[in-house]
């Protein structure tokens, strides 16, 4: 991602966010992983009162169209909750999602 980009937050604006899997590996190919992401997305949406307009799960990345609660809080919660869920269910914490690309 290019450095030095200006990022703007305005009330009720929509944002298109892309998350890539760690090393762009196809972690999201497995149905349990996709279901975990959807579960965590719903937790994130309700906790931060976000409106999710669309999302696309690809084998190695995610596209998300969301309104604007504080985006960094949503991204941090989403990535952290995904890791926590994997730790509880799989007994380990793989780095499934890398940081968001706003």
> What is the model's pTM?
0.62
Q: Within a domain: residue 80?
A: yes
pLDDT of residue 102: 44
- pLDDT tens-digit readout, 72-97: 667 777 777 666 666 666 655 455 55
Q: Within a domain: residue 23?
A: no
For the chain, how many structural domains are there in total?
1
Q: Within a domain: residue 57?
A: yes
- pLDDT tens-digit readout, 15-56: 888 988 888 989 889 999 899 889 888 988 888 778 899 999
- pLDDT tens-digit readout, 2-18: 677 776 666 667 888 89
Q: Is 99 exposed, middle or buried (0-12, 13-18, 19+ CB in 10 A)?
A: exposed
How far apart, in whole angstroms, are the C-alpha atoms of residue 60 and residue 11?
31
What domain range includes position 60?
35-101
Q: Within a domain: residue 69?
A: yes
Q: Within a domain: residue 75?
A: yes
Q: Within a domain: residue 17?
A: no
């Amino acid at each position: 991602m290019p450095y030095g980009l200006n990022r703007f937050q305005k009330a009720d604006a929509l944002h298109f966010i892309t998350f890539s899997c760690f090393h762009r590996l196809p972690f999201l190919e497995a149905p349990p992983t996709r279901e975990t992401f959807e579960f965590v997305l719903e937790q994130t949406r309700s906790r931060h009162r976000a409106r999710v307009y669309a999302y696309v799960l690809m084998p190695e990345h995610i596209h998300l169209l969301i309104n604007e609660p504080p985006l960094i809080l949503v991204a941090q919660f989403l990535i952290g909750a995904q890791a926590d869920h994997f730790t509880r269910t799989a007994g380990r914490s793989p780095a499934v999602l890398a940081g968001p690309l706003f």
